[in-house]
């Protein structure tokens, strides 16, 4: 049953002993997916939110806003699309990809104000919360390096067999895409069934992401979160198909 909700979002009491979010089908249609306000950014709140298909997104000076948009942009790892131009960049072998080697640097770069923007949604509070999740083994980063310098990357949260992507950045052309391709290939190797991309962007759609109904996403989420996967630091497999065996490091140059 789909609810048509045009009233104010639910207020969450951060002092309440139990963490409870409203049913995602109660999310507002305008703005699309706004579900609740308040709560906290502790590990308990964040992990519970992700398990319910909810993520935080708000600006400086605002209370914490929780979202569950409809439709939901997702990528099935086997449907990853690498364009000819991106494949050409990857074949050049100029970039090196790693996992979980520079999480703080990646989220800091994602938080930097970009051209045409007046601010960032990755507030200091949000930044600190995800760094803590990383130290607990739940939040992960993929880094793309050029001649020893961080050229691009992305970060997100992992639960069971699903990776919830949060943000990407690039200082060089296609650097974030190269990192994303490497991560998706590794997640497919590990048996992950889904990557949550949240809302539509042309950038992610070009890589194969597609929009599905929120109810379909919720069903997939329940299935994927049942997979047992202990939180830990991630390392890119040396023998991953397409990974150069001559890179001399535990991660390396992707080939296609």
CATH number of this structure's domain 73-225: 3.40.630.70
pLDDT of residue 136: 97
Residue length, the chain?
256
Dist CA 99 CA 155 (whole Å)? 10
3-class DSSP state of 113: coil
Question: Where do the structural domains in the chain lie, given as residue ranges?
Answer: 10-69, 73-225
pLDDT digits (tens, 9 = 90+) for 177-212: 999 999 999 999 999 999 999 999 999 999 999 999
pLDDT of residue 229: 79
* Contact criterion met (CB below 8 Å) for 99 and 183: yes
| Residue 102 burial (CB count, 10 A) | 18
Reference 133, options 97, 162, 100; nearest CA is 100
Reference 195, options 141, 229, 157, 232; nearest CA is 157
Reference 55, options 27, 75, 14; nearest CA is 27
* Residue 225, pLDDT above cutoff 80: yes
3-class DSSP state of 163: strand
Reference 66, options 124, 128, 19; nearest CA is 19
Rounded to the nearest 5°, which phi and psi values hold at 171?
-100, -15
3-class DSSP state of 198: strand
pLDDT digits (tens, 9 = 90+) for 49-104: 999 999 999 999 999 999 999 999 999 999 999 999 999 999 899 999 999 999 99
* Contact criterion met (CB below 8 Å) for 115 and 158: no
Distance from first CA to last CA of the chain, Å, rounded? Answer: 44
pLDDT digits (tens, 9 = 90+) for 61-73: 999 999 999 999 9
Identify the top-confidence range among 34-43, 88-97, 197-206, 224-233. Answer: 34-43
pLDDT digits (tens, 9 = 90+) for 121-174: 899 999 999 999 999 999 999 999 999 999 999 999 999 999 999 999 999 999
pLDDT of residue 116: 60
How many CA atoms are closer than 13 Å to the CA of 214, on its beta-carbon side?
Answer: 22
Q: Kindly state the tokens that stand for 230.
A: 């202990």
* Residue 10, pLDDT above cutoff 60: yes
pLDDT of residue 141: 98
Percentage of residues in the chain having pLDDT higher than 90: 80
Q: Kindly state the tokens that stand for 137.
A: 């083994």
pLDDT of residue 240: 66
pLDDT of residue 7: 61
> pTM of the predicted model, to two decimals?
0.90
Percentage of residues in the chain having pLDDT higher than 70: 88
The CATH number of 10-69, from 3.50.50.60, 3.30.70.3550, 3.30.70.100, 3.30.70.1140, is 3.30.70.3550
pLDDT of residue 227: 85
pLDDT band at residue 252 using 50, 70 and 90 as cut-offs? very low
């Amino acid at each position: 049953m789909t609810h048509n909700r045009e009233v104010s979002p639910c207020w969450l009491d951060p002092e309440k002993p139990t963490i409870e979010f409203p049913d995602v089908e109660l999310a507002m249609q305008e703005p699309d997916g706004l579900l609740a306000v308040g709560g906290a950014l502790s590990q308990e709140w964040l992990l519970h939110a992700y398990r319910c298909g909810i993520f935080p997104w708000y600006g400086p000076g605002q209370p914490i806003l929780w979202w569950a948009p409809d439709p939901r942009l997702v990528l099935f790892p086997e449907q990853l699309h690498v364009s000819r131009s991106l494949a050409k960049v990857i074949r050049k072998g100029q970039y090196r990809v790693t996992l979980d080697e520079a999480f703080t640097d990646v989220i800091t770069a994602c938080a930097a104000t970009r051209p045409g923007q007046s601010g960032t949604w990755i507030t200091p509070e949000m930044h600190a919360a995800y760094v803590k999740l990383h130290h607990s083994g739940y939040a992960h980063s993929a880094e793309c390096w050029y001649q020893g310098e961080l050229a691009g990357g992305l970060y997100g949260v992992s639960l069971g067999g699903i990776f919830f992507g949060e943000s990407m950045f690039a200082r060089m052309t296609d650097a974030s895409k190269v990192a994303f391709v490497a991560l998706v290939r590794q997640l497919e190797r590990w048996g992950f069934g889904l990557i949550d991309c949240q809302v539509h962007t042309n950038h992610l759609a070009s890589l194969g992401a597609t929009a599905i109904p929120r109810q379909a996403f919720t069903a997939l989420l329940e299935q994927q979160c049942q997979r047992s996967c202990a939180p830990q630091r991630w390392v890119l497999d040396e023998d991953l198909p397409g990974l150069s065996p001559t890179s001399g490091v535990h991660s390396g140059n992707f080939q296609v």
